[in-house]
Amino acid sequence: SSSASINQRQHYSSVFGSFSIEEAEVQIDDGKEETEDPDTMYHRIRETIAPFVMSFDYVFLCSSLLISMESVSLVISFFFLIDVLLRVYVEGFKVYFSSILNIIDACIVVVTLVVTMIYAFTDLSGASLIPRVVTFLRSLRILILVRVFRLASQKKELEKVTRRMVSENKRRYQKDGFDLDLTYVTERVIAMSFPSSGKQALYRNPIREVARFLDTKHLDHYKVFNLCSEKGYDPKFFHYRVERVMIDDHNVPSLQDMLRYTACVREWMAAESNNVIAIHCKGGKGRTGTMVCTWLIDSDQFESAQESLDYFGERRTDKSMSSKFQGVETPSQSRYVGYYEIMKNQYNRQLPPQKSLKIKSIRIHSIAGVGKGNGSDLKVKIIVKQELVFQCVCAKQQNCAVFPDTGSNLTHICGLPKGYEDCPFYFWFNTSFVENNRCLYLSREELDNPHKSKTWDIYKEDFGVTLKESFLV
């Protein structure tokens, strides 16, 4: 059985208790402070423009200080006024003016604008007005400097806004003085983005804040799993309780790594009942979701791959911000969660019997509109165990022969010898799960990249790939 043919169930039972997706959302800490803000269109508009309001300050700090204040004083004054008006709109009149600093700030902006307009639109040619002009200019510069220092003091707030924009509508933990791209999938499983340092900490989780969170909430009872093959960090931040599972971005883990990972998690979780795991890749979505769902199946919290994938997506997505799905989207990653379900249920958490395949041909269906539309501009790469074992260039008929079939709207690539992400489409599969004497067909929705609806103007409904192979004894 594969993940595509798994029966749906409404409730899930496990050693951690029985619960449904709806119940789990109530039981698990969502990391949100209680708020009395009504869910109105006015409130949603305020939330939408809040990041742009903060961005104004960032643009000013980066550029306007390099320009002469005298030449752009009027522009800056209006800029300040717009900034204050937008802040009043976003925060609300009463909330904004409840702060003494905000009142002083607004007064500075208004006075600055008045002084600037008097200087810009009044005839000051009379000698008797020169002393007043000098006084006005000095006041103007002082007021602008006060305003600049106030903007600079809001650096931390700007960083928070930047991180929220990067994390999009992933569920964040925003309680108890924390604001992190971090989600409790269950009470004992945490999904998060990469704990970063340096410049990356400006838009991703700062590693020191992540460590402070874990030490505050789960001191001496957490283990971190880093799924990024491309980068790591000093494990001392997490008291050297860090495990590595090397998975390339947008790719899948090996079956061996999946089994080693679940064995490690089982041992850690069984050691003490309050032990937790924190899992991350770069964005805390694809690779993270793959391995979280693998553990949910292994621990009997879900019986099927599809159930676990649906549940992870529900927990990771903050629908109060946007309906954009933040679960596992890549078909190959979902396919490998299905593989683990089979290994657990049919092979007792052991590797399935190995099968070796000889690929005879690759057939691409409904290729019209993809590139030149005849396959002549395609390149093919086959990677086995992270090693490139074959590649061909269709334009040169190098290592392959290309037979366009315009009548059937397909391209047939054959003559493969024995011996991506920057690409239009790709897919991962394991030969052990290919049935004997059957071609492997993958539809548009089962291919990585064409599965996205935004690409369907190029990849039509009948687009797909068929592998014709033979098994080697």
Check: CB of residue 148 under 8 Å from CB of residue 140.
Answer: no
| Reduced 3-state DSSP string for 160-192 | HHHHHHHHCCECCEECCCCCECEEEEECCEEEE
How many Å apart are CA 32 and CA 8, to the nearest integer? 30
At 204, list the tokens: 């991703």
pLDDT at 119: 67
Integer CA distances (angstroms), 131 to 69, 113, 117, 127, 135, in order: 20, 20, 17, 8, 6
Among candidate residues 231, 251, 252, 250, the one with its CA nearest the CA of residue 242: 231
How many Cβ atoms from other residues are within 10 Å of residue 104's Cβ? 12
pLDDT at 360: 86
DSSP 124: -
Give the list of residues 6+ apart from residue 114 with CB closer than 8 angstroms, or none.
Answer: none
Hey, what CATH class is 41-159 in?
mainly alpha
How many Cβ atoms from other residues are within 10 Å of residue 446's Cβ? 18
Q: For the whole prediction, is pTM greater than 0.85?
A: no
Residue the block writes with tokens 């309906």: 323
pLDDT at 162: 67
- Sign (positive or negative) of CA dihedral 232, 236, 239, 241: positive
Phi, psi angles (nearest 5°) of residue 244: -110, 135
Apex 356 CA angle, 351 and 361, nearest 5: 130
Residue 281 a catalytic site member? yes
Catalytic residue among 62, 107, 264, 281: 281
How many Cβ atoms from other residues are within 10 Å of residue 296's Cβ? 25
pLDDT at 461: 93
Report the CATH number of the 3-31+171-346 domain: 3.90.190.10
* Cross-strand pairs, 170: 317
How many Cβ atoms from other residues are within 10 Å of residue 326's Cβ? 25
Domain ranges of the chain: 3-31+171-346, 41-159, 356-472
Q: Are strands 410-414 and 440-443 parallel, antiparallel or unpaired?
A: unpaired
pLDDT at 56: 45
Q: Taking the mean position of all CA atoms in its chain, how far away is CA 281?
A: 9
Long-range contacts formed by 120-125: CB under 8 A, 24+ apart? 120/73, 120/74
| Reduced 3-state DSSP string for 368-416 | CCCCCCCCCCCEEEEEECCEEEEEEEHHHCECCEEEEECCCCEEEEECC
Say whether 356-472 and 41-159 share the same fold. no
Read off the amino acid at residue 466: T
Read off the amino acid at residue 180: L
Q: Digits of tens for pLDDT over the chain (473 positions)?
A: 333 333 333 333 444 444 555 555 456 887 776 655 555 655 665 565 555 444 444 444 344 443 444 556 677 778 778 878 877 776 678 877 888 877 877 887 787 777 777 766 666 555 455 555 555 555 655 666 666 666 666 656 556 666 667 677 889 998 998 989 999 999 999 999 999 888 777 778 999 999 999 999 999 999 999 999 999 999 999 999 999 999 998 899 999 999 999 999 999 999 999 999 999 999 999 999 999 999 999 999 999 999 999 999 999 988 887 778 888 989 999 999 999 999 999 999 999 999 888 888 889 999 888 878 888 888 888 888 888 888 888 888 878 877 766 555 555 555 544 434 567 888 999 999 988 767 899 999 999 989 988 888 888 999 999 998 877 65
Question: In terms of C-beta density within 10 A (0-12 exposed, 13-18 middle, 19 or more buried), how is residue 461 classed?
Answer: exposed
The domain made up of 356-472 has a fold known as Immunoglobulin-like (2.60.40)
